Amino acid sequence: MTGIVAPRILIGAPASGGGKTTFTCGLLHALVRRGLKAAACKCGPDYIDPMFHSEVIGAFSRNLDLFFSTEEQVRQLVADSALHSDITVIEGVMGYYDGIAVSDKASAWDVARATETSAVLVIDGRGRARSIAAEVAGFARFREDSRVAGVVLNRVSPMLYPRLKSLIEDETGVSVYGYLPVLDDCSLESRHLGLVTAAEVDDLRGKLDRLAAVMEETVDIDGLVALAQTAPALESADWQGVEPLELPRAPRIAVARDDAFCFYYADALRLLQHLGAELVEFSPLHDSCLPEGVSGIYLGGGYPELHARELSENSSMRESIAQAIRSGIPTIAECGGFMYLHEMLEDDQKDAYEQVGVVRGSSYKTNKLGRFGYIAIEAAHDGLLACEGEQLRAHEFHYWDSENVGDAFVARKPQSDRSWTCGFSTPTMYAGYPHLYLPGTPPSAVRFVEACAAFGMSS
Could you list the active site residues? Answer: 335
Q: How many CB atoms sit inside 10 A of residue 51's CB?
A: 22
CA terminus-to-terminus distance, the chain? 42
Q: In angstroms, rounded to a whole number, what is the distance separating the alpha carbons of residues 148 and 378?
A: 37
Q: Which amino acid makes up residue 448? A: F
Q: In angstroms, rounded to a whole number, what is the distance separating the alpha carbons of residues 397 and 115?
A: 27
Q: Is 82 helix (H, G, I), strand (E, B) or coil?
A: helix
Closest CA to 153 of 220, 97, 225, 90: 220
DSSP 8-state assignment for residue 219: B
Q: In angstroms, rounded to a whole number, what is the distance separating the alpha carbons of residues 318 and 343?
A: 10
Cβ-in-10-Å burial (0-12, 13-18, 19+) of 63 comes to buried
Cβ-in-10-Å burial (0-12, 13-18, 19+) of 419 comes to middle
12 forms beta bridges with 121
Q: In angstroms, rounded to a whole number, what is the distance separating the alpha carbons of residues 359 and 402?
A: 10
DSSP for 126-180?
A: TT-STHHHHHHHHHHHSSTT--EEEEEEES--TTTHHHHHHHHHHHH--EEEEEE
DSSP for 223-286?
A: HHHHHHTTSPPEEE--TT-SPPP--SSPPEEEEE-SSSEEE--HHHHHHHHHHTPEEEEE-TTT
Length of the chain: 459
| Contact residues for 390 (Cβ-Cβ < 8 A; gap 6+) | 378, 379
Backbone angles phi, psi at 93, to 5 degrees: -135, 135
176, 136 Cβ separation under 8 angstroms: no
